[in-house]
């Protein structure tokens, strides 16, 4: 996950109050999703995030749209460390062990296991409002050849041949252009992203290539893979107002990515897949 420098944790008491308020404001009336194929909600986590992970899971279980499966992918060496707060949810979700692919665990195992499914990815350290999944579904249905995303950043260029550094991009843009399929926006996982079947290039699950080009830049990798299939991002839902669980951000990849790792990954991706991947205008 990238581009979180302006997001902050919220005190737990405030979080729980907001949580209860939304329960009252949006009484749950969950309905099965209306997509044309199976819908998988897929996420991953690691040991430092386990303490509050059940709260994210519970927010996903209380969506107004019901997926076919909710899958939590955990690295093989950490699967035995899950706390009771998570194992007690095992009858409601699927908890699966997998190779430790860092943040890529949220999607690559699901792509391999469910190649014909719609796959919605999300993060493990945030509260997701009840309409979150429904907004992604509606955005995907309205734009069948687009990637519906709850939050997007906009690229900026220095010249027609040079991309501005990642830190100079516009974060979480809300304008009308972003709400149409756009060639200059990047979906970010914290807002949730929905990938239709066959919307990602065949290289997506090639671990050797992704680890060479951007081993910690899952948002960038998935953007390029969808762009190679001519699927463009479209912003859906309201402005991202993330509610992060206490203590979770000290282990976020954004601390490491600030922001040079992203710029290096962009250079490598552009070299392999062509500079137009990022420089092509809307």
> According to the model, what pLDDT value does residue 29 have?
76
**173-226 pLDDT tens trace:** 999 999 999 999 999 999 999 999 999 999 999 999 999 999 989 999 999 999
Quote the CA–CA distance of 41 and 114 in Å, as a whole number: 11
pLDDT band at 261 (very low <50, low <70, confident <90, very high): confident
Q: Is the pLDDT of residue 134 over 50?
A: yes
Quote the CA–CA distance of 109 and 137 in Å, as a whole number: 21
Q: Is the pLDDT of residue 9 over 80?
A: no
Quote the CA–CA distance of 235 and 7 in Å, as a whole number: 19
- In this structure, of 59-63, 244-248, 252-256, 268-272, the range with the lowest mean pLDDT score is 252-256
> According to the model, what pLDDT value does residue 250 have?
59
DSSP of 75-118, one letter per residue? EGGGGGG--HHHHTTTTTSEEEEE---GGGGGTHHHHHH-TTSE
pLDDT band at 282 (very low <50, low <70, confident <90, very high): very low
Angle between helices 260-273 and 218-227 (to 10 degrees): 20
**17-49 pLDDT tens trace:** 666 666 666 666 788 999 999 999 999 999 999
**55-67 pLDDT tens trace:** 999 999 999 999 9
Query: Does the model's pTM come out above 0.85?
Result: yes
> According to the model, what pLDDT value does residue 13 have?
59
> According to the model, what pLDDT value does residue 1 have?
42
What b/e readout covers 39-71, taking b as 16+ CB neighbours within 10 angstroms?
bbbbbbbbeebbebbbbbbebbbbbbbebebbb
Q: Is the pLDDT of residue 260 over 50?
A: yes
Q: Is 51 in contact with 83 (CB distance < 8 Å)?
A: yes
Q: Is the pLDDT of residue 252 over 90?
A: no
Q: Is 192 in contact with 122 (CB distance < 8 Å)?
A: yes
120 compared with 240, residue with greater pLDDT: 120
**69-92 pLDDT tens trace:** 999 999 999 999 999 999 999 999
> According to the model, what pLDDT value does residue 16 have?
62
Quote the CA–CA distance of 107 and 73 in Å, as a whole number: 9
> For the domain bounded by 12-279, which CATH number is listed?
3.90.550
DSSP of the chain, one letter per residue? ----TT--B--HHHHHHHHHHHHHHS----EE---SS-EEEEEE--GGGHHHHHHHHHHHHT-SEE-SEEEEEEEGGGGGG--HHHHTTTTTSEEEEE---GGGGGTHHHHHH-TTSEEEE--SSB---TTHHHHHHHHHHHSTTEEEES-EEE--EEETTEEPPGGGSBPS--STTTTS--SSEEE-GGG-EEE-TT-S-GGGG-HHHHHHH-TT-HHHHHHHHHHTTT-EEEE-SS-----BPTT-GGG-HHHHHTTHHHHHHHHHHHHHH-THHHH---
Q: Is 204 in contact with 249 (CB distance < 8 Å)?
A: no
pLDDT band at 139 (very low <50, low <70, confident <90, very high): very high
């Amino acid at each position: 996950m990238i581009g979180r420098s302006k997001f902050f944790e919220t005190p737990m008491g405030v979080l729980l109050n907001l949580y209860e308020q939304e329960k009252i404001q949006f009484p749950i009336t969950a309905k099965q999703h209306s997509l044309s194929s199976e819908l998988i909600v897929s996420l991953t986590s690691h040991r430092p995030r386990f303490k509050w992970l059940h709260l994210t899971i519970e927010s996903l279980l209380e969506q107004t749209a019901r997926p076919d499966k909710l899958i939590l992918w955990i690295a093989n060496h950490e699967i035995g460390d899950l706390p009771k707060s998570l194992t007690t949810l095992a009858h409601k979700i699927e908890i699966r062990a997998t190779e430790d692919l860092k943040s890529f665990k949220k999607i690559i195992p699901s792509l391999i296991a469910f190649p014909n499914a719609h796959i919605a990815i999300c993060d493990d350290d945030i509260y997701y409002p009840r309409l979150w999944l429904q907004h992604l579904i509606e955005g995907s249905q309205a734009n069948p050849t687009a990637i519906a995303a709850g939050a997007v950043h906009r690229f900026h260029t220095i010249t027609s041949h040079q991309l501005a550094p990642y830190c100079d991009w516009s974060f979480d843009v809300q304008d009308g252009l972003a709400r149409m399929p756009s060639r200059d926006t990047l979906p970010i996982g914290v807002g949730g992203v929905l990938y239709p079947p066959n919307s990602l290039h065949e290289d997506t699950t090639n671990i050797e290539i992704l680890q060479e080009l951007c081993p910690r830049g899952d948002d960038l990798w998935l953007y390029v893979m969808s762009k190679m299939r001519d699927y463009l991002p479209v912003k859906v839902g309201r402005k991202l107002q993330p509610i992060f669980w206490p203590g979770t951000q000290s282990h976020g990849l954004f601390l490491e990515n600030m922001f040079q790792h992203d710029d290096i990954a962009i250079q490598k991706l552009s070299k392999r897949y062509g500079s137009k991947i990022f420089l092509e205008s809307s």
